Amino acid sequence: MPHSPFHRRASTRVATVAVTALALAAGVAAPAAAHGGDQRWPSRTTELRLIAFNDLHGQLEPGASSSTGRVTLSDGSTVWAGGAAYLATHVRNLRQEADNSLVLSVGDNIGASPLPSALFHDEPTVAFMNDLGVAASAIGNHELDEGFAELRRIQDGGCHPVDGCQFEDGYEGADFPYLGANMTWEETGRAAVAPYTVRHVKGVPVGIIGLPLRGMDTLVAADGIAGLEFGDEVEAIDRAARQLDRRGVRSIVVLLHQGDNTEGGGPSDCATLPGPARAIAEESSPLVDVFFTGHSHQQYTCTVEDPAGDPRPMVQGASAGRLLSVVDLTIDRRTRDVVREATVAFNHVVTRDVTPDPRAQALVDRAVADSAPISNAPVGTVAESLTRTAAPSGESPLGSVIADAQLAATRGAGAQIAMTNPGGVRTDIDYASSPAQEGDGVVTYGETYAVQPFANILQTITLTGAQLDAVLEQQWQPQPNGTVAQRILQVSANLHYTWSRSAPLGARVSGITVDGVPVAADQTYRVTVNNFLTGGGDGFSELTRGTDLVGGMIDLDALIAYLGANPGLTAPAADRITVTN
């Protein structure tokens, strides 16, 4: 039997932190004892290393902020991490340690991307994934930012129907399948995309099931996914696993674009809070051996028990290419099944102390150079960083600025207040100069694009005071697993209210004022939000009832105009929303 890769972990260095062995969680011998020779595992087994990443979001360049470029270790220290060329080197090194390996994606690797990828409709990122040899990808919500038809083009190839081919002379599509086991057509119930794929390793079939989260209709503009349904994840996984089992596929991996939050911890710690990913991983068919998760941008390496009481890993690798989630499997070639107690899972930090992969670096350099004339153009100045860091009330400096910008841009449509969703604010505006050396305090087009990359359209609607109150109450939404999701809308400076932590759902908000005047339930107000929210995005269904809709500019253009009109912008005071116990 080949020597186990677990003994050659030196290349992961201190940045890998800890290796979580499911064998230890199951109360049996450590991997070194289990794989040291032929004492326990006869020559009929095959080893397989799975290497996954999630939520890359087109981050081809090394990230410069904490949310895109740093990883927190178990001791609380941080290291710089990420960048496509470094990621490619780490993937290569991890593959060289193993006799057999597969590279997998857990979704959101395109969409909400920086300009070097987004300007070319994320074709550079797909080219990067093709070069990595990705075997399969789950569909994340951001894969559908431009609608299902655009995802089909990303999969199958062809030039963009409006912009044409701008990065290459032609676009040949993804070399890997996008998977959506719970995606069906509403009218027929038929699958919209492949639910799974099968790869063979030393003659052993390995099934890979991929799927987005069930709540897709609250995360994506409704017109882009019209006619599609996103079903229950557990039911879809169980259905696909049964089909694979009937085909003789007994080693099964799930790529689940749903994740949990954490209380901190390092890359290979399990400090998760109760959430939807764990519930799905614990309730899904015992036929599944591994869960890779995504969406929540967290880092964890956990062991969960399947319905039969057997352990299996649930792993997520942060975002922006900072971590690679690694699961090492031993597969019995006779039964074709995974030897669960021999499984080892860990998160590997994509450190920047390795030689960048030349091919990946060349691709990144070209994307950056081609986008530079647009990306590096100055659009305004700030006197300090504007961050997404939320106050206890839920408002953030950058969120407040964006809401103010949207109100300013739609005053002509009679707007009285503006609100925006926090999920649409993707990164901070830093005071420090970017690598383009435009100077401290100078904000470039590329930096603002990274903040608001969705091209959402501002829309001004009429709501009654009672409807406005109902919208604000929808900032707290009960989830299927019994938790409550909190999404505090960022509001313009002239809208104030108080919310209570202890009040029951539906009665948390009080004291709403506009321009200092209490809001009356039967009075009407002109409210600006983006088209994602007017479509009921993030669960704000009350906004779909707005009337007298008037369209405005793109949200990014509103932010750029506001920055230009307010040089040396500073962070607003966090006094728009008051929170009480």
Q: Per-residue pLDDT tens for 78-122?
A: 999 999 999 999 999 999 999 999 999 999 999 888 889 999 999
CB count within 10 Å of CB 358 equals: 11
**Rounded mean pLDDT, 446-472:** 93
In this structure, is residue 499 part of a structural domain?
yes
Predicted confidence (pLDDT) at residue 8 exceeds the cutoff of 50: no
Predicted confidence (pLDDT) at residue 17 exceeds the cutoff of 60: no
224 and 334: one domain? yes
Predicted confidence (pLDDT) at residue 40 exceeds the cutoff of 60: no
Q: Per-residue pLDDT tens for 281-329?
A: 999 999 999 999 999 889 999 999 999 999 999 999 999 999 999 999 9
**Rounded mean pLDDT, 58-63:** 93
CB count within 10 Å of CB 126 equals: 27
Comparing 550 with 75, which gets the higher pLDDT? 75
- Kindly report the CATH number assigned to the domain that includes residue 422: 3.90.780.10
Structural domain span for residue 571: 376-580
The total domain count for the chain is 2
| Rounded Cα–Cα distance for residues 162 and 44 (Å) | 54
**Rounded mean pLDDT, 389-415:** 96
306 and 206: one domain? yes
In this structure, is residue 225 part of a structural domain?
yes
Predicted confidence (pLDDT) at residue 473 exceeds the cutoff of 90: yes
Beta bridge partners of 300: 316
**Rounded mean pLDDT, 409-433:** 93
> Minimal CA–CA distance to 314: which of 262, 349, 359, 362?
262
Confidence of residue 42 (pLDDT cuts 50, 70, 90): low
- Kindly report the CATH number assigned to the domain that includes residue 137: 3.60.21.10
Look at residue 576 in the predicted model and tell me its pLDDT.
97
In this structure, is residue 497 part of a structural domain?
yes
Torsion of CA 395, 397, 401, 404, to 10 degrees: 40
Look at residue 104 in the predicted model and tell me its pLDDT.
98
Q: Per-residue pLDDT tens for 523-536?
A: 999 999 998 898 88
233 and 265: one domain? yes
> Minimal CA–CA distance to 266: which of 97, 476, 15, 27?
15
Long-range contacts at 4-8 (CB < 8 A, ≥ 24 apart): 4/31, 4/32, 4/35, 4/36, 4/47, 5/47, 5/49, 5/97, 5/98, 5/99, 5/328, 6/31, 6/32, 6/35, 6/328, 6/344, 7/32, 7/35, 7/36, 8/97
Q: Per-residue pLDDT tens for 338-347?
A: 999 999 999 9
Predicted confidence (pLDDT) at residue 30 exceeds the cutoff of 90: no
In this structure, is residue 288 part of a structural domain?
yes
In this structure, is residue 366 part of a structural domain?
no
Boundary-marking domain end, from 326, 361, 396: 361
Token code pair at residue 114? 């920086």
Look at residue 10 in the predicted model and tell me its pLDDT.
28
Predicted confidence (pLDDT) at residue 22 exceeds the cutoff of 70: no
Look at residue 454 in the predicted model and tell me its pLDDT.
85
Look at residue 5 in the predicted model and tell me its pLDDT.
30
Contact 267, 318 (CB under 8 A): yes
CB count within 10 Å of CB 25 equals: 18
Confidence of residue 163 (pLDDT cuts 50, 70, 90): very high
Radius of gyration of the chain (CA): 24
Boundary-marking domain end, from 301, 328, 361: 361
**Rounded mean pLDDT, 32-46:** 52
Confidence of residue 434 (pLDDT cuts 50, 70, 90): confident
In this structure, is residue 20 part of a structural domain?
no
231 and 306: one domain? yes
**Rounded mean pLDDT, 31-50:** 60
477 and 329: one domain? no
Comparing 13 with 263, which gets the higher pLDDT? 263
> Minimal CA–CA distance to 142: which of 220, 31, 237, 247?
220
Token code pair at residue 323? 């971590």
Mean pLDDT, the chain, whole residue set: 90
Predicted confidence (pLDDT) at residue 13 exceeds the cutoff of 80: no
Contact 141, 212 (CB under 8 A): yes
Confidence of residue 66 (pLDDT cuts 50, 70, 90): confident
| Rounded Cα–Cα distance for residues 122 and 139 (Å) | 15
Q: Per-residue pLDDT tens for 531-579?
A: 889 888 899 999 999 998 888 888 999 999 999 999 999 999 999 999 9
509 and 564: one domain? yes
Predicted confidence (pLDDT) at residue 143 exceeds the cutoff of 50: yes
427 and 283: one domain? no
Buried b (16+ CB within 10 A) or exposed e, 415-429: bbbbbbbbebbbbbb
In this structure, is residue 86 part of a structural domain?
yes
446 and 307: one domain? no
412 and 501: one domain? yes
Look at residue 113 in the predicted model and tell me its pLDDT.
87
Predicted confidence (pLDDT) at residue 400 exceeds the cutoff of 60: yes
Comparing 166 with 185, which gets the higher pLDDT? 185
351 and 494: one domain? no
Look at residue 19 in the predicted model and tell me its pLDDT.
41
267 and 388: one domain? no
In this structure, is residue 551 part of a structural domain?
yes
Look at residue 552 in the predicted model and tell me its pLDDT.
85
Look at residue 59 in the predicted model and tell me its pLDDT.
94
332 and 217: one domain? yes
Boundary-marking domain end, from 305, 327, 361: 361
